[in-house]
Amino acid sequence: MSEVVSPKPIAASLTELWSPRVVAELDDSYVKVAKVHGTLAWHSHEDEDELFHVLTGSLTIEMEARTVVLREGDVFVVPKGVRHNPIAEHECHIMLIERKTTLHTGTEVTDRTRSVSEQLRPIGE
């Protein structure tokens, strides 16, 4: 059954940085929120696009061919296979829409990489 969720306050309530949490499911995709600050890691998703929606703050996404800056309310899709590195100079809250098969940091594994099971934990844990 579908539930009403409010991504903005859920993202604000998170205590871990760069640790997305699933707030909804849509066909073969998850809707996630995260609180971010600093740099994640250069990575790519070979078979999946990744949608970023900035809820509060601003987010820079470096890519090999260009860099985009997203401000509150902006949406950007990183196409599959494009290496990218999200950066938030100040705390930023984001919503992501990605396929359920999307690995958090692609094939790159860092101390910030989160498994799907970690992302599915209930909010508040």
Range of the domain at 69: 7-106
Domain-embedded: residue 1: no
Burial of residue 111 (number of CB atoms within 10 Å: 0-12, 13-18, 19+): exposed
For position 74, what pLDDT does the model report? Answer: 98
Average pLDDT, the chain: 91
CATH number at residue 76: 2.60.120.10
* 121: pLDDT strictly greater than 90: no
Domain-embedded: residue 56: yes
Domain-embedded: residue 123: no
Output the CA–CA distances (angstroms, integers) from residue 44 to 8, 13, 57, 60, 122, in the order listed.
Answer: 26, 28, 23, 16, 27
pLDDT, tens digit, for every residue of 35-59?
999 999 999 999 999 999 999 999 9
pTM of the model: 0.90
For position 108, what pLDDT does the model report? Answer: 74
pLDDT, tens digit, for every residue of 102-111?
877 777 777 7
pLDDT, tens digit, for every residue of 14-30?
999 999 999 999 999 99
Q: Are 12 and 92 a contacting pair, CB within 8 Å?
A: no
Q: What percent of the chain has pLDDT over 90?
A: 78
* Amino acid letter for position 112: R
Domain-embedded: residue 91: yes
CB atoms within 10 A of CB 71: 11
Longest CA–CA separation in the chain, Å: 42
Domain-embedded: residue 42: yes
Q: Looking at the 3D structure of the chain, how many domains does it have? A: 1
